[in-house]
Amino acid sequence: MKIRNSIQDIKDEITAYRRSLHQHPQTSYEEEFASGLVRDKLSEWGITFEDKIAVTGIVATIEGETNNSGKVIGLRADMDALDIIEDVTGKPHASKIPGKMHGCGHDGHTAMLLGAAKYLKENRNFDGKVHLIFQPAEEGAGGAHKMIEEGLFKRFPMDAVYGLHNWPKLPKGKIAMRSGPIMAAAERFDIQISGTGGHAAMPHKTIDPIIIGTQIVTALQTLVSRTADPLDPVVISITNFNAGTGAFNVIPDSAHLSGTLRAFTPEMRSNMMQRIHEVAADTAKMLGGSAICEFAAGGYDPTINTAAETAQCADIAKALVGEDLVDTDVTPSMGAEDFGAMLQAVPGCYIWMGQGEADETSHHNQGLHTPQYDFNDDIIPLGIEYWVRVVENTLGR
Ligand SMILES: [Zn+2]
Ligand SMILES: [Zn+2]
């Protein structure tokens, strides 16, 4: 691994920021602590920035020593935490905010981009301009989308944009990516079923919404197995089924289902959204009731890496950690990431950076969004070096 000394030298400083961020986790559009820390450091280092983009978002700008290329790129980090009660065992830097936790490592992402900002401001060995995007509300509230709505790519035009995420299941030192879809689109839906309640001993006088609900759940799974192309992945999961009052002898009036749809291609996504509406309504109708399906606003786009930018990042990663430690055709995840919204607007590449330890019980190996998870500070220099090389390589010296 070839990490320059001047980046190794700031590891302790950046680690301190990461741990401070971990102690002050805040969720969607309330990331005042993270946003404040970013503003303070950028000001201290003499880096210009604009803030209050999508409430707590910040875009900083660093110009290279030269700008003959006229090229501009963006590097993005997310700043938000999750509603999780942290398992604090052995963590001196545990969350100080009850019920909130940096359970996805966005504390590490923010810290590493700050490290890159500090290095790039001191060593402007590139030809062009870089925007550092500190984004709020990645976890479900569409912060990337809101930044774009508020003019991210109009106010700060970019030729390409780059993202990274720590990956606990990938060993520390490894990097993975792929050209094309790497994470899925995600949509949330609710299905409200109406029937006619009554005495459980006289079902013929009712329209049972529970029976309608069970038929809808089964029919939706049949969409996946019979309607979808088996070579184009899709997931429909019903995650809530609520009905009844607790009484054993009453058939209720209504039932409520909700769940998530995951897909990679726009065709599959829109086709399945349409079919979920139809299956819910028509199944309920067949059984004498009715059902209305609604998709929540702000669904997530699939994260689709563009070929040229991914090839460039693969070369950068190989030069950094060695060819054997880079997977350039990793199996995609059905998880979603709102960086996908940025990649719908601008070409670019999103990678996974391994942080797993040999000890399987390590906090760094626990899954994202679990109470035991912790970002691995050992990868901070690697993350900074990767960002710096993305700038130096894509813009040229
Ligand atoms: Zn997450
Ligand atoms: Zn995340």
Q: What is the pLDDT of residues 11-42, one digit of tens each?
A: 999 999 999 999 999 999 999 999 999 999 99
CB atoms within 10 A of CB 285: 12
Q: Does residue 1 surpass a pLDDT of 90?
A: no
Nearest ligand by distance to the CA of 164:
2
Joined tokens for residue 335 = 């998880």
Range with lowest mean pLDDT among 123-127, 191-195, 297-301, 332-336: 297-301
User: Which tens digits make up the pLDDT trace of 31-72?
Assistant: 999 999 999 999 999 999 999 999 999 999 999 999 999 999
Please tell me what DSSP assigns to residue 227: I
Report the predicted TM-score, pTM, of the whole model to 2 decimal places: 0.93
What is the distance in A from the centroid of ligand 1 to the CA of 184?
13
- Residue whose tokens read 């065709």: 267
| Distance from C-alpha of 143 to C-alpha of 160, rounded to nearest angstrom | 19
CB atoms within 10 A of CB 358: 8
Q: Does residue 2 surpass a pLDDT of 90?
A: no
What is the distance in A from the centroid of ligand 1 to the CA of 270?
24
- Residue whose tokens read 């990042």: 313
What is the distance in A from the centroid of ligand 2 to the CA of 113?
15
What is the distance in A from the centroid of ligand 1 to the CA of 209?
35
What is the distance in A from the centroid of ligand 2 to the CA of 134?
13
Three-state secondary structure call for residue 10:
coil
Nearest ligand by distance to the CA of 167:
2
Amino acid 90: pLDDT: 75
Nearest ligand by distance to the CA of 335:
1
Amino acid 41: pLDDT: 98
Strands (E), the chain: 48-53, 57-63, 72-78, 129-135, 160-171, 175-176, 180-183, 185-194, 198-199, 234-243, 250-251, 254-263, 290-295, 303-305, 326-327, 348-356
Cα dist. 299→145, 187, 276, 292, 392 in Å?
10, 5, 15, 18, 34
Could you tell me the domains of the chain? Answer: 5-183+302-395 (3.40.630.10), 185-295 (3.30.70.360)
Amino acid 89: pLDDT: 75
Cα dist. 197→205, 279, 286 in Å?
8, 22, 17
What is the distance in A from the centroid of ligand 1 to the CA of 365?
15
User: Which tens digits make up the pLDDT trace of 346-394?
Assistant: 999 999 999 999 999 999 999 999 999 999 999 999 999 999 999 999 9
What is the distance in A from the centroid of ligand 2 to the CA of 337?
7
Cα dist. 367→22, 42, 105 in Å?
17, 32, 11
Residues sharing a CB contact under 8 Å with residue 286, sequence separation 6 or more, in sequence order:
215
Nearest ligand by distance to the CA of 353:
2
What is the distance in A from the centroid of ligand 2 to the CA of 369?
8
Three-state secondary structure call for residue 225:
helix
What is the distance in A from the centroid of ligand 1 to the CA of 332?
16
Exposed/middle/buried for residue 69 (C-beta within 10 Å: 0-12, 13-18, 19+):
middle
What is the distance in A from the centroid of ligand 2 to the CA of 139?
7
What is the distance in A from the centroid of ligand 2 to the CA of 247?
41
Residue type, 141: A
What is the distance in A from the centroid of ligand 2 to the CA of 289?
41
Exposed/middle/buried for residue 126 (C-beta within 10 Å: 0-12, 13-18, 19+):
buried
User: Which tens digits make up the pLDDT trace of 142-179?
Assistant: 999 999 999 999 999 999 999 999 999 999 999 999 99
For residues 350 and 164, the answer to whether their CB atoms sit within 8 Å is yes
What is the distance in A from the centroid of ligand 2 to the CA of 339?
10
| Distance from C-alpha of 77 to C-alpha of 165, rounded to nearest angstrom | 9
What is the distance in A from the centroid of ligand 1 to the CA of 141?
11
What is the distance in A from the centroid of ligand 1 to the CA of 139?
6
In whole angstroms, what separates CA 160 from the centre of its chain? 18
Nearest ligand by distance to the CA of 165:
2
Residues sharing a CB contact under 8 Å with residue 92, sequence separation 6 or more, in sequence order:
19
Residue in 301, 267, 302, 270 with CA at minimum distance from that of residue 180 = 302
What is the distance in A from the centroid of ligand 2 to the CA of 397?
32
Joined tokens for residue 117 = 């900002």
What is the distance in A from the centroid of ligand 1 to the CA of 104?
5
Nearest ligand by distance to the CA of 105:
2
What is the distance in A from the centroid of ligand 2 to the CA of 135?
12
Joined tokens for residue 19 = 């741990």
Joined tokens for residue 261 = 């749809």
Residue type, 395: L
What is the distance in A from the centroid of ligand 2 to the CA of 220?
28
Nearest ligand by distance to the CA of 163:
2
Joined tokens for residue 82 = 């999750």
**What is the length of the chain?**
397
Instruction: Give, for 146, the enclosing helix (H) or strand (E).
Output: helix 143-149
What is the distance in A from the centroid of ligand 1 to the CA of 368?
6
CB atoms within 10 A of CB 349: 29
Nearest ligand by distance to the CA of 107:
2
| Distance from C-alpha of 262 to C-alpha of 269, rounded to nearest angstrom | 7
When the pLDDT of each residue in the chain is averaged and rounded to a whole number, the result is 97
| Distance from C-alpha of 57 to C-alpha of 148, rounded to nearest angstrom | 11
Residues around ion ligand 2, judged by CB within 5 A, are 104
Nearest ligand by distance to the CA of 82:
1
